[in-house]
Amino acid sequence: MSKKQTAGFTVLEVAVAGAFFAVILGAAAVGIAQDNTTARVILAPLSPELRAQDALHRIASELRMAGEYGEDVNHNGELDEGEDTNDNGVLDSNWNLDDLTTNQGSLAFNRRIDMRDETGAITASGVYSRRVRYFLNDEKLIREWWRTDENGNIVVRRVTMAHGVAGLRFSRTGRLVTISLDALIDNRPYGITRRTVATQITLRN
Domain tally, the chain = 1
Determine, yes or no, domain membership for 8: no
Inter-residue contact 90 to 84 (CB < 8 Å): yes
Say how far apart CA 5 and CA 39 lie, in whole Å.
53
For residue 63, give its domain range.
Answer: 44-71+90-202
93-111, pLDDT tens digit by residue? 888 998 999 999 999 988 7
Hey, what amino acid is at 136? L
Determine, yes or no, domain membership for 80: no
Determine, yes or no, domain membership for 2: no
Report the mean per-residue pLDDT for the chain.
77
Determine, yes or no, domain membership for 114: yes
For residue 104, how many other CB atoms are within 10 A of its CB?
A: 14
Model-level pTM? 0.67
134, burial (CB in 10 Å: exposed 0-12, middle 13-18, buried 19+): buried
184 beta partners: 194
Preceding peptide of 189 cis, ω within 30°? yes
Inter-residue contact 97 to 88 (CB < 8 Å): no
Determine, yes or no, domain membership for 109: yes
Q: Which residue has the higher pLDDT, 165 or 4?
A: 165
- pLDDT at residue 69, rounded to an integer: 66
Determine, yes or no, domain membership for 56: yes
Kindly indicate the confidence band of residue 32, based on its pLDDT and cuts at 50, 70 and 90.
Answer: very low
Determine, yes or no, domain membership for 147: yes
Determine, yes or no, domain membership for 77: no
Inter-residue contact 113 to 129 (CB < 8 Å): yes
